Structure 1
């Protein structure tokens, strides 16, 4: 099971990050992204919301039932073991985190979920790798920059890395050409103002743009 999801991520590359979008707005957004070619969607746990376990679980269930495997749904900002279990029960196939928490990684692996913790330094990246992470999310990739992203790959070219935060149409190709397995992208694909205005056609075109860039690598 995990091998299929790992391959799927490597094939499709673009993970759309959805924060604070629920219900029919979320379904409409993911439909637009799907029509634009995006096949991976992360629904985050909002750590500042006391109801995040319920809201994120319900959102994941809604998407998995609506898209029936055509879009692979993951849970994001997974920072506790409880959230790992809630994500699994809701139907998420992978978990993404902003940090390296060995218990979260190992619990995800026990539940046959693909694990993608976030890291910034070489030490954090290798800690995540040796804890059993399937991919490591370089975060925040845009702030760290392409030179840093390239230098990391010198000694750490055996770890599957996903660039996240600050990845845009202007630098996506460069990250992928360096050897990054994919990219996590939020506002360009899931802008809440555009969602609230119902401008899903704009987000669909953004998805097409990014998918076209990734498909050429």
Structure 2
């Protein structure tokens, strides 16, 4: 049941903050600011040094709150390339697993623990392979290679596929992606680069608010 609840919460949240940084402390600060701005799904990438420390710290802080409360957020892990990394992250507190590619053993591991897994795919063949393994959401990556029109093109032959573009999603095109029928979107450097450059993490909260406002508006219009 928890997996189904997490998938529903991910769909309702709509926007996943994909966070990369130079230290776990920096990523925790990024996540706190994004959550303050209203983004309720955080993906800590395994490219962050000591990433599991950040996942554990965030999970301890945000998982104890009620899912409907302002202090709750889903903490997941990204850039997972193998099942060993997926299990380590799950044990550290990750509630969902994201990968840039499709690794069958990683999917099987996540299914064993009833954890949502979102592997990257770029072709119809990869998406079908993911569906056959029991994947609930496919990460369209890199999304920057496509326009939002790719979503209905995919859903023509595969209406059952839940697609989440990551990479290339911005405030300028977020509404188009949502109206095209995506499950949700992943937001990367656009959320954090200005804040890091200026050393002002409050800018992440401001940008998160803008993303959530744009997302809610597009959902209401779609």
Q: Determine whether 1:57 maps to 2:58.
A: no
**Structure 1: unaligned runs, 5 residues or longer:** none
Q: Which has the higher contact order (CA 8 A, sep 6+)?
A: 1
SS at match of 1:145: coil
- Give the aligned partner of residue 68 of structure 1: 63
CA RMSD in angstroms comes to: 1.6
Q: Determine whether 1:206 maps to 2:201.
A: no
- Give the aligned partner of residue 4 of structure 2: 3
Q: Quick one: distance in 1 between partners of 2:63 and 2:197?
A: 25
Q: Quick one: distance in 2 between partners of 1:197 and 1:168?
A: 20
Q: Quick one: distance in 1 between partners of 2:117 and 2:161?
A: 13
Asked if the contact 1:173–1:213 (Cα under 8 Å) also holds between the matched residues in 2, the reply is yes
Q: Determine whether 1:94 maps to 2:96.
A: yes
Asked if the contact 1:84–1:104 (Cα under 8 Å) also holds between the matched residues in 2, the reply is yes
**Equivalenced residues, count:** 210
Displacement of 1:172: 0.9
Displacement of 1:196: 5.9
- Give the aligned partner of residue 68 of structure 2: none
Partner deviation per Cα, 1:140-179 (whole Å, 9 max, x = no partner): 1122222333311211111111111000011111111111
SS at match of 1:93: coil
- Give the aligned partner of residue 150 of structure 1: 152
SS at match of 1:146: coil
Displacement of 1:86: 0.4
Q: Aligned in 2, Cα 1:68/1:195: closer, same or farther, shift over 3 Å?
A: farther
Asked if the contact 1:138–1:162 (Cα under 8 Å) also holds between the matched residues in 2, the reply is yes
Asked if the contact 2:25–2:54 (Cα under 8 Å) also holds between the matched residues in 1, the reply is no
Displacement of 1:84: 1.2
Q: Aligned in 2, Cα 1:150/1:190: closer, same or farther, shift over 3 Å?
A: same
Asked if the contact 1:17–1:190 (Cα under 8 Å) also holds between the matched residues in 2, the reply is no
Q: Quick one: distance in 2 between partners of 1:128 and 1:82?
A: 19
2:118 to 116, 119, 123: 116
Q: Determine whether 1:81 maps to 2:76.
A: no
Q: Quick one: distance in 2 between partners of 1:91 and 1:66?
A: 11
Q: Determine whether 1:167 maps to 2:162.
A: no
Partner deviation per Cα, 1:112-134 (whole Å, 9 max, x = no partner): 11010010001101111111111
SS at match of 1:213: helix
**Structure 2: unaligned runs, 5 residues or longer:** 65-71
TM, length-normalised to structure 2: 0.89
Asked if the contact 1:34–1:71 (Cα under 8 Å) also holds between the matched residues in 2, the reply is yes
